[in-house]
């Protein structure tokens, strides 16, 4: 033969009539377990080989002697990429083995959440979540028994029933051995009963089913959900799937949902993530590739910059959870690194406040803007100082973040670092040029904030006094109380240092100050 899988006329003639000859290898050959080459490729996670075998005519739904299909084996082993590829080639999700188990049963049994998501999200109407095996167990029974919380959440969010009994007369609630899992199932079970009781006779089954599948990513009310057009509901559901995959750091699922299956990670271009176009309609050699990518994303209905009702894009979610590889993938494929959510926060805000240093570095390499303010006026640097993240602040300052910007309360990064008692941050900000005498909307400087802590941050106080030119050995200065009616008059203050805030307030009211 030309090669073991050749199907030319010469080789077909040699193979015909000898299919049972063990020396002849074809896509239909079987070993002593009944495995075809496609079974072996699936159990070993060889997606490229699966492509080749299917192109040569291999049967996607062929079963071995235990009625296991390649999809059963890929789900049992936890190969999400292979599972998605087999689903693409129309593998049967409802095929049952000799024990009545579907691929979803096996994915739940072995705890492969990625494969469960692949089966459920690929095409929910064709995936029967409540199918029972020979023992009467549904996938939810199995997941509850083994305590796989993530899998249970996926099944419940997609309307898996909690009321089905197996042959031992047990419901999924009775199979749960973990108190946390039991609580989760009971909450869903009780809320389902309440919805059933509140549903009017005229309410359509579609509306009831839609309301039962609401997830935490979308915060819209049931009334507005029912009023939305069907296409809009479907789009929001797809966006929720994408954001959930991003939150889990599930790169394969994100690639699948964004239809990037033909592109291998190793082959992705390492060029700039976003090309500046000559003009919006330009098709020159420089702009053409970016235009094609943009058109492809828009045509699919689900793009890399798709957002939830709260304005969260996949990049926001990946940055929030610290998934560096996913952030890099999304950025390289056109994600807007400066996109804002409903709170006006960018991905850099979310990564900075959670001290995901590698994500921050990745976003800065993609030209994320350093000084954007969120709804509360906080920049990424201010968020970092609020949380006391020294390493993240160092990276931001090295990238030339503005150190003296203030938020809606007038607080700068230095104010927040002082109030939080972060000495190392205070020293870093002072070295970067933070102004000590900037006042917030309460007319407090950073030095005032340090004094208001009443001796709790003595080292910070001395550091600020030294930076402001005051004596390093000076005792902490207390607020001066002025008798009622003294404003507008000459006041003598017997102290060696005049407290800046008190001086400001007295001068503001026209009081003449005399220090002794």
| First-to-final CA distance of the chain | 108
Of 403, 480, 464, the closest CA to residue 434 belongs to: 403
- What are the structural domains, with CATH classification, of the chain? 1-25 (no CATH), 31-128 (1.25.40.20), 136-150+157-194 (no CATH), 481-516 (no CATH)
- Which DSSP symbol is given to 102? -
Show pLDDT as tens, one digit a residue, over the chain (516 residues): 677 777 777 777 666 655 555 666 788 888 889 999 999 999 999 989 999 999 989 999 999 999 999 999 999 999 999 999 999 999 999 999 999 999 999 999 999 999 999 999 887 677 889 999 999 999 999 999 999 999 999 999 888 999 999 999 999 999 988 888 888 888 877 766 555 544 443 433 333 343 333 333 343 334 434 444 555 666 777 888 889 889 988 888 888 888 886 554 444 444 444 456 676 666 676 666 555 554 444 444 678 999 998 999 999 999 999 999 999 999 999 899 999 999 999 999 999 999 999 999 999 999 999 999 999 999 999 999 999 999 999 999 999 999 999 999 999 999 999 999 999 999 999 999 999 989 999 999 988 888 887 667 788 888 888 887 765 555 444 444 444 454 444 445 444 444 444 444 444 444 444 444
- With a CB cutoff of 8 Å and minimum separation 6, the contacts of 318 are 246, 247, 249, 326, 327, 330, 347, 359
**Beta carbons of 463 and 501 less than 8 angstroms apart:** no
14-51 in b/e burial notation, b at 16+ Cβ within 10 A? ebeeeeeeeebebbebbeeeebbbbbbbbbebbbebbe
From residue 82, alpha-carbon distances to 87, 143, 208 in Å are: 9, 22, 34
CA 126/CA 133 separation, integer angstroms: 17
In DSSP notation, 282-330 reads --STTTHHHHHHHHHHHHHS--TT---TT---HHHHHHHHT-HHHHHHH
pTM value > 0.75 = no
């Amino acid at each position: 033969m030309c090669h073991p899988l050749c199907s030319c006329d010469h080789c077909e003639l040699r193979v015909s009539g000898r299919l049972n000859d063990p020396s002849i290898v074809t896509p239909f050959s079987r070993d002593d377990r009944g495995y075809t080459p496609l079974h072996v490729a699936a159990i070993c996670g060889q997606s490229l080989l699966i492509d080749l075998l299917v192109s040569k005519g291999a049967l996607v739904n062929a079963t071995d002697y235990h009625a296991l299909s390649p999809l059963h084996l890929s789900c049992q082993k936890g190969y999400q990429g292979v599972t998605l590829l087999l689903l693409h080639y129309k593998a049967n999700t409802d095929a049952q083995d000799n024990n009545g188990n579907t691929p979803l049963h096996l994915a739940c049994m072995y705890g492969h959440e990625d494969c469960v998501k692949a089966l459920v999200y690929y095409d929910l109407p064709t995936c029967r979540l409540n199918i029972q095996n020979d023992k009467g167990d549904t996938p939810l029974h199995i997941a509850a028994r083994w305590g796989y919380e993530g899998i249970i959440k996926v099944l419940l969010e997609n309307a898996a029933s909690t009321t089905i009994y197996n042959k031992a007369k047990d419901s999924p609630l009775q199979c749960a051995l973990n108190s946390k899992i039991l609580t989760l199932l009971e909450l869903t079970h009780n809320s389902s009963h309440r919805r059933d009781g509140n549903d009017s006779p005229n309410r359509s089954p579609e509306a009831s089913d839609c309301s039962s599948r609401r997830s935490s990513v979308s915060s819209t009310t049931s009334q507005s959900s029912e009023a939305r057009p069907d296409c809009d509901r479907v789009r929001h559901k797809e966006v929720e799937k994408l954001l959930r995959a991003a939150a889990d750091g599930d790169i394969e699922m994100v690639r699948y949902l964004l239809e990037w299956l033909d592109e291998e990670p190793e082959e992705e271009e390492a060029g700039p993530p976003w090309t500046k176009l000559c003009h919006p309609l330009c098709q020159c050699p420089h702009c053409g590739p970016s235009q094609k990518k943009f058109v492809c994303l828009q045509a699919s209905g689900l793009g890399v910059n798709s957002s939830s009702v709260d304005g969260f894009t996949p990049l926001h979610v990946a940055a929030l959870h610290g998934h560096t590889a996913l952030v890099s993938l999304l950025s390289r494929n056109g994600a807007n690194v400066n996109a804002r959510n409903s709170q006006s926060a960018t991905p850099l805000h979310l990564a900075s406040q959670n001290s995901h240093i590698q994500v921050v570095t990745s976003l800065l390499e993609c030209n994320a803007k350093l000084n954007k303010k969120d709804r509360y006026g906080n920049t990424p640097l201010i968020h970092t100082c609020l949380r006391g993240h020294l390493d993240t602040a160092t990276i931001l300052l090295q990238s030339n973040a503005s150190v003296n910007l203030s938020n809606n309360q007038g607080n700068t990064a230095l104010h927040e670092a002082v109030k939080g008692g972060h000495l190392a941050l205070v020293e870093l900000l002072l070295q970067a040029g933070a102004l000590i005498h900037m006042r917030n909307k309460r007319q407090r400087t950073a030095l005032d904030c340090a004094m208001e802590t009443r001796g709790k941050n003595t080292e910070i106080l001395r550091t600020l006094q030294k930076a402001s030119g005051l004596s390093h050995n000076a005792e902490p200065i207390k607020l001066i109380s002025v008798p009622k009616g003294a404003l507008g008059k000459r006041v003598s203050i017997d102290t060696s240092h005049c407290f800046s805030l008190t001086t400001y307030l007295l001068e503001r009211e026209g009081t003449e100050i005399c220090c002794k």
